[in-house]
Structure 1
């Protein structure tokens, strides 16, 4: 898997990589003259999980051939719900990650703050619910797959009433 760089053209950036995520570059790429708001969410590896203390590191595995397609579906649905959205970046890392490293980044720019926050919240929630990515946790007492595993959902149904 190559490193991740912003696209040369277009307003959508979806990627899966085994390299460090370019958090600052994703933010800078999302800034546009027409957008007064940029919301960046970065999910980082923490030292605990439900019922598990002293998490030492995580390993992410993904169904590589499907992840970017799911990210693109999320972005299309996001743009349907918030049509004035500027740029959208959905980036996820695979492989072993240490404490405090970014495992996922969702960035959305929009003309106004409310839309940027709502769209970014949808982006990360839909990614977590619909992307075929799995987390293996290693902690002081052992190791196992993440406790929040679930069937993948259609991203178009995330957040729908």
Structure 2
């Protein structure tokens, strides 16, 4: 892992503007910055979602994210790479994930940011549980399976 990489797995919300500023701080040689911020949506698989909870194995998760970042660095000339991923209970519209990448050129920054997200969605050891409105109006919890569309996105990097 490069000294310019930052991986945070936390239960607390993060400030996107502050994360952008941290990513840019000292990245004078990099003319490009690409970011992705994912948040909890209010609808999934035919039901309204009221809450999302993520579980993980501490240590194992960070190691997986470090490997994904190392693979991205091997593909593109990158400056700074920051990945923040929330765990625990989150409400609709709360941010779940931040991926930020700097590079001397925009093509590498865009590609690396998407690559990291595609790998994260399919390989990082997070388990999602949604609280949804059931057909009868009651609330129920369900585990969220990986989506075929995420796997298809990953295949383009092979």
Say whether residues 1:76 and 2:70 are aligned partners.
yes
2:111 maps to what in 1?
A: 118
Aligned: 1:86 with 2:79? yes
2:16 to 8, 15, 23: 23
Normalising to structure 1: TM-score of the pair?
0.83
Which structure is higher in strand share?
A: 2
> Residues of 2 paired with 1:43 and 1:65: CA distance?
22
Which blocks of at least 5 consecutive residues in structure 1 are unaligned?
A: 1-8
Distance (whole Å) between structure 2 residues aligned to residue 67 and residue 23 of structure 1 = 21
Partners of 1:14 and 1:158 in 2: how far apart? 24
Alignment counterpart, residue 28 of structure 2, candidates 11, 28, 33? 33
Q: Which segments of 5 or more consecutive residues in structure 2 lack a partner in the other structure?
A: 135-139
SS at match of 1:100: coil
Do 2:31 and 2:106's aligned partners in 1 also have CA atoms closer than 8 Å?
yes
Counterpart of 1:107? Answer: 100
- Give aligned pairs, total: 146
Shift in alpha-carbon separation, 1:41–1:25, aligned structure 2, 3 A: same
TM-score with structure 2 length normalisation? 0.85
Aligned to 1:3: none
User: 1:40 and 1:117 mapped to 2: Cα distance?
Assistant: 8
State the shift of 1:40 in Å. Answer: 1.0
Larger Rg: 2
